[in-house]
């Protein structure tokens, strides 16, 4: 349907009712799961059945040996870094085009984030740029599958093998994203997911870490539980870890969501592909690759604009979409500064 006049020029908006709020529909299944937990009187993951069930179900969904549920995607990535255990000053290469949660764990483990470029005209880490950043201090590469599209994993896996570097996949935005027949998160040494409100699988806040390696799984579990070796039956804290234990309440919601995530993903794929097909070929407007060519699960729908060819500025395009009732914004906004800096002393 074509409007006579754009909404930004005073015409009728195309979209007359609001988009559904973000987050996949919670319903009776989530309510029943949470109610069960509260009635049981047991809210801690330690000895609780829901978190164990989430871990088992997620591992099965991805076809991996181990899954660990934690409190956030940031916690999952921090746990992955604690698991590979860098020495102070070791370097971890990643992308600057990501959420801060990718970087936080690197710094907290006293390693140094090294930023490589993304592919020209694209969104994912550029293997050639990463290769140029490798030094004898490189301990790991964190590959982010941005917006739901897969990065070029074969190139990173080869670098990992060649240089003895750990490959961590940040799949916070990439549930069931595929790459040459394999699922994001299952190819590297460790895969990390976020269950924050906006993600394909959510419990408000939460995270998941997966691996096929028994040794990494053991260390990750310890790191996220204060280094507490519960198998000894005592209170032996065998190295410095954090308390990233998710609660049974969050896991109850995640458990119900796990039954829905494949459905959400296939719906998003169908809608995203339809939009990509519809707007392909407009000069200066570059839609994301479709699900067949990029494994895209369309977490967000990024479009790149070459303003000269498109005939409109990026900011004006965002204003025009917003006026039509379509939520849109321009990346990346500059931070206005931190109000919380300064001394704790009064
Ligand atoms: C790529 C990426 N990495 C890490 C994170 C951190 O996840 P969380 O917000 O659950 O801590 C996010 C969250 O949006 C993300 O998009």
| Dist. CA 311 → ligand 1 center (Å) | 34
286 within a domain of the structure (yes/no)? yes
Instruction: Give start and end residues of each alpha helix (H) in 149-302.
Output: 153-163, 214-223, 248-258, 261-279, 291-294
Burial call 76-109: b when 16+ CB within 10 Å, e when fewer = bbbbbbbbbebeeebbbbbbebbbebbbbbbeeb
Query: Do 244 and 281 sit in the same domain of this protein?
Result: no
| Dist. CA 99 → ligand 1 center (Å) | 5
* Cβ–ligand 1 contact at 229 (below 6 Å): no
Residue 341 has pLDDT above 60, yes or no: no
For the chain, the domain total comes to 2
Query: Do 60 and 37 sit in the same domain of this protein?
Result: yes
146-170 confidence digits (pLDDT tens): 999 999 999 999 999 999 999 999 9
Q: Distance of CA 126 to CAs 118, 150, 298, Å?
A: 5, 12, 20
Over residues 226-246, the mean pLDDT reads 93
**Domain range spanning residue 79?**
28-258
Query: Do 179 and 290 sit in the same domain of this protein?
Result: no
342 within a domain of the structure (yes/no)? no
* In the chain, % of residues over pLDDT 90: 87
E strand intervals along 60-137: 66-70, 91-94, 112-115
pLDDT at 11: 95
344 within a domain of the structure (yes/no)? no
1-48 confidence digits (pLDDT tens): 556 799 999 999 999 888 776 556 899 999 999 999 999 999 999 999
pTM (global) more than 0.75? yes
| Dist. CA 2 → ligand 1 center (Å) | 37
* Cβ–ligand 1 contact at 94 (below 6 Å): no
Query: Do 104 and 238 sit in the same domain of this protein?
Result: yes
* Cβ–ligand 1 contact at 212 (below 6 Å): no
Query: Do 248 and 281 sit in the same domain of this protein?
Result: no
Query: Do 251 and 264 sit in the same domain of this protein?
Result: no
| Dist. CA 103 → ligand 1 center (Å) | 10
Over residues 207-222, the mean pLDDT reads 98
Query: Do 86 and 107 sit in the same domain of this protein?
Result: yes
80 within a domain of the structure (yes/no)? yes
200 within a domain of the structure (yes/no)? yes
**Among 258, 292, 311, which residue terminates a domain?**
258
Atom of ligand 1 lying closest to residue 199 CA: 14
* Cβ–ligand 1 contact at 124 (below 6 Å): no
**Among 221, 237, 258, which residue terminates a domain?**
258
Atom of ligand 1 lying closest to residue 72 CA: 10
Average pLDDT, the chain: 93
Query: Do 232 and 305 sit in the same domain of this protein?
Result: no
Query: Do 184 and 269 sit in the same domain of this protein?
Result: no
| Dist. CA 102 → ligand 1 center (Å) | 7
Atom of ligand 1 lying closest to residue 173 CA: 16
**Among 225, 258, 291, which residue terminates a domain?**
258
pLDDT at 134: 98
């Amino acid at each position: 349907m074509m409007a006579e006049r754009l909404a930004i020029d005073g015409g009728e908006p195309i979209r007359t009712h609001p988009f559904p709020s973000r987050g996949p529909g919670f319903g009776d299944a989530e309510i029943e799961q949470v109610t069960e937990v509260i009635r049981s009187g047991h809210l801690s993951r330690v000895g609780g059945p829901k978190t164990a069930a989430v871990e088992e179900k997620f591992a099965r969904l991805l076809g991996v040996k181990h899954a660990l549920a934690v409190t956030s995607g940031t916690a999952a990535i921090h746990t992955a870094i604690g698991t590979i255990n860098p020495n102070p000053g070791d370097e971890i290469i990643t992308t600057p085009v990501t959420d801060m949660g990718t970087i936080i764990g690197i710094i907290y483990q006293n390693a140094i984030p090294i930023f490589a470029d993304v592919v020209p005209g694209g969104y994912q880490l550029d293997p050639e740029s990463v290769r140029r950043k490798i030094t004898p201090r490189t301990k790991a590469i964190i590959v982010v599958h941005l917006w739901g599209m897969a990065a070029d994993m074969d190139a990173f896996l080869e670098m990992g093998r060649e240089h003895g570097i750990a490959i961590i996949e940040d799949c916070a935005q990439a549930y069931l994203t595929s790459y040459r027949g394999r699922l994001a998160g299952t190819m590297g040494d460790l895969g990390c997911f976020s269950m924050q409100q906006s993600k394909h699988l959510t419990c408000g806040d939460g995270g998941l870490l997966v691996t096929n390696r028994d040794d990494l799984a053991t260390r990750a579990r310890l790191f996220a539980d204060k280094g507490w070796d519960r198998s000894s039956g005592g209170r032996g804290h065998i190295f410095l870890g954090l308390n990233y234990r998710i609660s049974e309440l969050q896991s109850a919601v995640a458990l119900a969501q796990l039954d829905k995530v494949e459905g959400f993903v296939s719906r998003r794929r169908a809608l995203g592909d339809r939009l990509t097909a519809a707007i392909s070929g407009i000069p200066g407007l570059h839609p994301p690759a479709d699900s067949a060519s990029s494994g895209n699960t369309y977490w967000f729908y990024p479009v790149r604009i070459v303003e000269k060819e498109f005939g409109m500025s990026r900011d004006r395009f965002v204003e025009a979409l917003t006026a039509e009732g379509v939520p849109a914004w321009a990346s990346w906004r500059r931070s206005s500064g931190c109000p919380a800096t300064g001394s704790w002393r009064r």
